[in-house]
Structure 1
Amino acid sequence: MKLIFRLLLSAIAVVVLANVLGGVSVDGYGTAIIVALVLSILNLLVKPILVILTLPITIITLGLFLLIVNAAVILLADSLISGFSVDGIWWAVLFSILLSVLQSFLHSLLKDD
């Protein structure tokens, strides 16, 4: 149940950011849920492979290249989902940063004390 609630919170974050950012658009709430689901699957399966492959450049840039890896995962989700679009790499970087911050805030509301 908590997993479904986290997925719905992530979908809400996607909708909010799509309304705030000009370079990101999502068709509706159903598409936002699909985006949240696809992003979580890509973060589980593809992102670790990308992190390992880009480890030397990540070490050289002191971890800042991970922003580009996150943006690449978002652009991959953009190519997989027809109702979700990101205009470029810089919009994807900004979307990834703001999505992480917003998800952290929303998921902190779920923590049991």
Structure 2
Amino acid sequence: MSFLLRVLVNALAIWVAAWILPGMQLTADPSVVSAVGGETTASVLAYLFVGLVFGVVNAIVRPVLTILSLPITCLTLGLFAIVVNAAMLWLTSWLSSFTPLRLEIDEFFWTAVLATLIIGVVSLVMGWVVPERERR
């Protein structure tokens, strides 16, 4: 249940970032739109799918990249972590380019970095609204 909640939070955060930033958008192939019965349903599925891919990338690739970039992160007093998070979003965009539901980001520096900041703020707010279940 926690994993599904995390996917929903990721999807919401990516939706907010795509809504605010003009260089970030999600697209679905026309075949997907006709298969699921409408553009709205295809859009919701696209955000959920990209949220799932983003969660998997953050779970698998991000810890390795964080450890490898630890010296430069310490040198920049933690600011390089924003670049690592932007790289995870960029990797999500690249991985989704092989599927019918695509996340498109036009520039790494401005769009991906700003999207990372927006996604972080939305995830923080959603963490306050929907706290994780206590483990016993």
TM-score after normalising by structure 2? 0.75
CA change 1:56–1:84 in 2 (3 A) is: same
Q: In structure 1, what is the equivalent of residue 96 of structure 2?
A: 81
Structure 2 gaps of 5+ residues are: 28-42
Calculate percent identity across the aligned residue pairs.
36
Please give the per-residue CA displacement for 1:58-87, whole angstroms capped at 9, x wherever unaligned: 111111111111111111001010311111
SS in 1 for 2:104: strand
Structure number, greater radius of gyration = 2
Q: For each residue in 1:40-71, what CA deviation from the matched residue of structure 2 results, as whole angstroms up to 9, or x when unmatched?
A: 11111101111111111111111111111111
Q: Which runs of 4+ in 1 moved over 4 A?
A: none
Partner of 2:5: 5
1:105 pairs, out of 119, 125, 128, with 125
Instruction: Compute the displacement of 1:2 (Å).
Output: 4.0
**CA RMSD, aligned part only?**
1.5
Q: Return the alpha-carbon distance in structure 2 between the equivalents of residues 100 and 73 of structure 1.
A: 13
Q: What is the SS of the residue equivalent to 1:85?
A: strand
Q: How many residues align?
A: 112
1:1-54 CA distances to partner (integer Å, 9 max, x unpaired)? 343233223212212221211111012221111111111111111011111111
In the alignment, the residues of structure 2 paired with residue 5 and residue 49 of structure 1 have an alpha-carbon distance, to the nearest angstrom, of 24
Letter in 2 for 1:4: L
Map of 1:1-113 to 2, 5 A cutoff? 1-27=1-27, 28-82=43-97, 83-89=102-108, 90-111=110-131
Uncovered stretches (5+) of structure 1, i.e. residues with no partner: none
